[in-house]
């Protein structure tokens, strides 16, 4: 069994905990989840961290989380992790239900942050993470950007959803304050903007903090916990943070350095960086017919694959690949929400936003944005056949590529 020195384990550049997200594996219930962990995690650890403890980015569906519970199963899982020299420090709490083998699309947001089911699920995950998290390191859980934009037909309904989402997220901040007070363990909720979410980009995140979270949350915390205004603001900004998914911010055509500085200047913390790569389609650089033919391979029925285009008036979003494939209009550049292997730069006439990952890496070398890095290429089973490789070796290849760049 590996020595339990978690502070010296899988740390890159003496600072970053690096892992992959297990939403890559099917996990509709606890048995399926654990079967996949048992099958893949020891193999991956043996390759990337043979003599160190290995941090894991755990994904639990609501059903898996309920079945894992808080008693013997959770204790047994913790013992298994210890025996393997593995520890959990970050979780993915974005997909609530099944995430593989059936149509997910916009329902990845359901239930959204206006609903008590999302609140209860997230609270349960944090209780489980608090039990699994080793002392001396922080923990985090990434989550939905409030809701799916097109479920709210008017600006008034969108605003109502943002208000309800803020109220419910502040409940999580209160829970995390109390957990840290009782256990000494610091954890944060990492809000993950993505195309067609109610929060899509850095400007919308800043607006959500300034016009919803702080004005709604501060009175709540002052009343419930007896905080001053400053203490309430600090509490919200400490426990409610951002998950910077490189793929998603690439789709917003944001430059990493500018976005990180914007968050810092507004007192907003980044809790986790999800290292992921989007499809980049450069029409001026190649055979247009080949490009459309190659892009067609990525049209699959499970996940939403929004397409974005940078225009003179801002970023235009197309809701899914079929919307574009129907007409095949003329473009200079598009970006597609399809997480492709991070070690790929070009393939079949298409490119990736790997350059954005390299810009993030360059910034991280001189700036301590956060200490959680998680590779999140969850699309292996729906990739075009010529990109599919054996799963464990593919995950190892991604981790080794990123370690080398860092």
28-61 tens-digit pLDDT: 899 999 999 999 999 999 999 999 999 999 999 9
How far is it, in rounded angstroms, from Cα 310 to Cα 330? 13
What is the model's pTM? Answer: 0.95
Out of 68-72, 325-329, 339-343, which region has the weakest mean confidence (pLDDT)?
325-329
The secondary structure of 208-267 as a DSSP string is HIIIIIHHHHHHHHHHHH---HHHHHHHHHHHEEEEEEHHHHHHTT--HHHHHHHHHHTT
User: Which pLDDT band, with edges at 50, 70 and 90, does 2 fall under?
Assistant: very low
Q: What is the DSSP letter of 21?
A: B
pLDDT over 80 at 103, yes or no: no
Residues 6+ apart with CB under 8 A from 13: 364, 365, 406
């Amino acid at each position: 069994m590996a020595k339990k020195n978690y502070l010296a384990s899988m740390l890159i550049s003496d600072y970053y905990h690096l892992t992959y997200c297990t939403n890559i594996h099917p996990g509709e219930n606890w048995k399926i989840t654990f079967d996949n962990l048992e099958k893949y995690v020891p193999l991956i650890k043996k390759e990337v961290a043979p003599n160190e403890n290995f941090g894991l980015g755990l994904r639990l569906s609501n059903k898996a989380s309920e079945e894992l519970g808080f008693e013997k199963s959770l204790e047994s899982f913790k013992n298994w992790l210890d025996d393997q020299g593995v520890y959990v420090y970050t979780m993915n709490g974005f997909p609530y239900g099944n995430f593989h083998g059936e149509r997910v699309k916009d329902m990845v947001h359901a239930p959204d942050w206006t609903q008590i089911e999302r609140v209860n699920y997230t609270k349960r995950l944090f209780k489980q993470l608090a039990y699994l998290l080793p002392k001396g390191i922080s923990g985090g859980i990434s989550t939905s950007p409030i809701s799916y934009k097109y479920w709210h037909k008017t600006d008034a309904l969108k605003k109502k959803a943002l208000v309800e989402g803020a109220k419910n997220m502040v409940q999580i901040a209160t829970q995390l304050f109390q957990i840290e007070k009782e256990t000494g363990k610091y954890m944060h909720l990492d809000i993950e903007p993505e195309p067609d979410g109610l929060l899509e980009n850095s400007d919308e995140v800043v607006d959500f903090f300034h016009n919803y979270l702080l004005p709604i949350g501060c009175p709540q915390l002052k009343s419930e916990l007896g905080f001053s205004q400053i203490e309430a603001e600090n509490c919200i900004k400490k426990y409610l943070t951002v998950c910077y998914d490189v793929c998603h911010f690439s789709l917003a055509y944001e430059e990493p350095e500018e976005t990180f500085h914007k968050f810092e200047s507004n007192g907003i913390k980044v809790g986790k960086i999800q290292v992921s790569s989007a499809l980049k389609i450069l029409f001026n650089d190649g055979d247009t017919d080949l490009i459309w033919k190659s892009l067609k391979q990525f049209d699959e029925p499970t996940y939403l694959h929004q397409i974005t285009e940078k225009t003179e008036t801002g970023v235009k979003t197309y809701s899914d690949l079929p919307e574009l494939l129907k007409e095949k209009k003329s473009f200079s550049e598009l970006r597609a929400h399809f997480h492709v292997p991070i070690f790929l730069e070009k393939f079949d006439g298409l490119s990736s936003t790997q350059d954005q990952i390299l810009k993030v890496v360059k910034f991280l070398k001189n700036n301590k944005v956060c200490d959680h890095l998680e590779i999140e290429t969850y699309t292996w089973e729906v990739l075009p056949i010529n990109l599919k490789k054996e799963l464990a070796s593919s995950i190892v290849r991604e981790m080794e590529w990123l370690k080398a760049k860092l």
